[in-house]
Every structure is written in structure tokens, then in C-alpha cells.
A = this chain, B = another copy of it.
């Protein structure tokens, strides 16, 4: 016997991903077109839960959509060499480390900034002074931190 298929709402609850997000994933090709009921409602099987949980975990780890698409493609060829998947993950790790370093520099600078506030007036405010005077800045914050 076959298992009863889920509507998108049930899938949403089962996978912990919002309905709109599932439809969005479909629209960008991460999810593939599901079967439809006579009235046009999407119908999913258990594999959809699995797929969504894969996507969600990868997103939680910060993988960009393109990388996830590549990983999903790789999954469909289980005998292919693992090196590609490894490379994608290593790239992601490198990106995360880079952002980590930038954020650490930001934290140091901000910490220094608020530490110097003595509660006086704006005119003498060291927070303002620091923002005005880039030369005063200790941290090498020249590259803007990218979106995650």
C-alpha cells in the first residue's frame, strides 16, 4: 500500500518550513514540481520532507542556494566521487571563517567605542568622535561585512 500524500500545509508542519518558503524553493528549482490533486493542490510524499530538511540544514549552515543546488545534484549520483561535495563544504567553511574574522574586528572596535562613553553630552561623545574620525579606528574595518 502507498502512503497517503501530504498537502503543502502538512509538509510545512512536518519539515518545519513555511508554506510560502516551500513554494519559493519550488520556484527556484530546489524542490522539483510535485504531483497535483484534481483541484490543483500540491501533493507530497515522505521524500519531500527529507529534501526540505536537507535544504534547511544546509541553509542553517549558511550555504548559498547555488551551492545547495549543486549538492542536490550530487545526491542524485551516489557513485560520483565525493570530492565535489567536500570542495563546496570547504569553500563554505572558508567563507564563514572570513566573516568570523571581520566580525571579530567589528566587535573589538565597537567594544572600544562604547567603553569610552562617559555619559556626557553629544558634543564630547566618544562614540560620535569614533564614528567621525576613521583615523581613530583601531580595527582594520575596510572591507564591509557581506550578507550571510
Enumerate chain A interface residues (CB-CB to B < 8 A).
50, 53-54, 56-62, 71, 74-75, 77-83, 85-86, 88-90, 92-93, 96-97, 99-100, 103-104, 106-107, 109-111, 113-114, 117-125, 127-128, 130-132, 134, 137, 141-142, 144-148
Chain B CB within 10 Å — which of A71, A79, A82, A118 has the most?
A: A82
Q: Is the interface of A mostly helix, strand, loop or mixed?
A: helix
A61: which B residues are within 8 A, CB to CB? 106, 109-110, 131, 141
A117: which B residues are within 8 A, CB to CB? 82, 85-86, 89
A125: which B residues are within 8 A, CB to CB? 82, 85-86
Q: Which of B74, B93, B96, B100 sits near A122, CB closer than 8 Å?
A: B74
A-B contact pairs, 18 of them (CB 8 A): A53-B134, A54-B132, A61-B141, A75-B122, A79-B122, A80-B122, A81-B119, A82-B119, A83-B119, A85-B122, A85-B127, A86-B125, A89-B113, A92-B110, A93-B110, A96-B103, A147-B147, A147-B148
